[in-house]
Amino acid sequence: MRPAGAELTSIRSPRVKAARQLGKRALRQRAQAFLAEGPQAVGEALAAGDVVSQLFITATAQARYGELASRAAGQGAEVHPVSGEVMAELAQTITPQGLLAVCGFVDVPLDQALSGSDGPDGPTGKRSRSRWRSGASTRRSALRARAPTGS
């Protein structure tokens, strides 16, 4: 793992400030970066390849998700240990999981995104669409059942 240095304990740290700004849409667009929070999102970002540039991690999360920190460092990301207070400032959830990555946008041509096997419909597209259709009819039925009857 890349040397992480001392734990960041100040919310006024330039790195922390820069990451916090990614909570605002306009600044995400300008920086072409976003935050991935929690082990699932961070793991997916790491699986995508050269996307994660920084990883903020608490000591508790380091003990639990150390392999994600190692993978991030192996991909060249800066790994920053942070205090719980700093994580609470960075996180956009009520109960932070102690793991947050700064990720760069990935530009993919539209035709490639629509034809890719990992698209929103999954590998075949059939199962997800049929689930969506059955869910949609269930949602419509539930809305009709709750709709007030006009008198």
pLDDT value at 61 more than 50: yes
- What's residue 85's pLDDT? 94
Instruction: Kindly state whether residues 51 and 116 are assigned to the same domain.
Output: no
Instruction: Kindly state whether residues 38 and 81 are assigned to the same domain.
Output: yes
CA 47, 6, 90, 95 torsion-angle sign = positive
Instruction: Kindly state whether residues 123 and 140 are assigned to the same domain.
Output: yes
Instruction: Kindly state whether residues 90 and 129 are assigned to the same domain.
Output: no
CA distance to 12, 19, 70, 87, 132, per residue, from 74 (Å): 28, 21, 6, 22, 38
- The answer to whether the beta carbons of residues 69 and 55 sit under 8 Å apart is yes
Copy the structure tokens of residue 101: 């990555």
Instruction: Kindly state whether residues 92 and 37 are assigned to the same domain.
Output: yes
What confidence tens digit (pLDDT) does each residue in 87-132 have?
999 998 889 999 999 999 988 888 888 886 554 444 444 444 444 4
Least confident interval from 58-62, 69-73, 128-132: 128-132
Model confidence, pTM: 0.71
- The answer to whether the beta carbons of residues 144 and 71 sit under 8 Å apart is no
Q: What whole-number distance in Å separates Cα of residue 60 and Cα of residue 58? A: 5
Give the CATH number of the domain where residue 92 resides: 3.30.1330.30
How many domains are there within the chain? 2
What confidence tens digit (pLDDT) does each residue in 4-57 have?
578 898 888 999 999 999 999 999 999 999 999 999 999 999 999 889 999 999
Instruction: Please indicate, yes or no, if residue 26 is contained in any of the structural domains.
Output: yes
- What's residue 64's pLDDT? 96
- What's residue 143's pLDDT? 45
Instruction: Kindly state whether residues 41 and 115 are assigned to the same domain.
Output: no
Instruction: Please indicate, yes or no, if residue 9 is contained in any of the structural domains.
Output: no
Instruction: Kindly state whether residues 89 and 114 are assigned to the same domain.
Output: no
- What's residue 116's pLDDT? 67
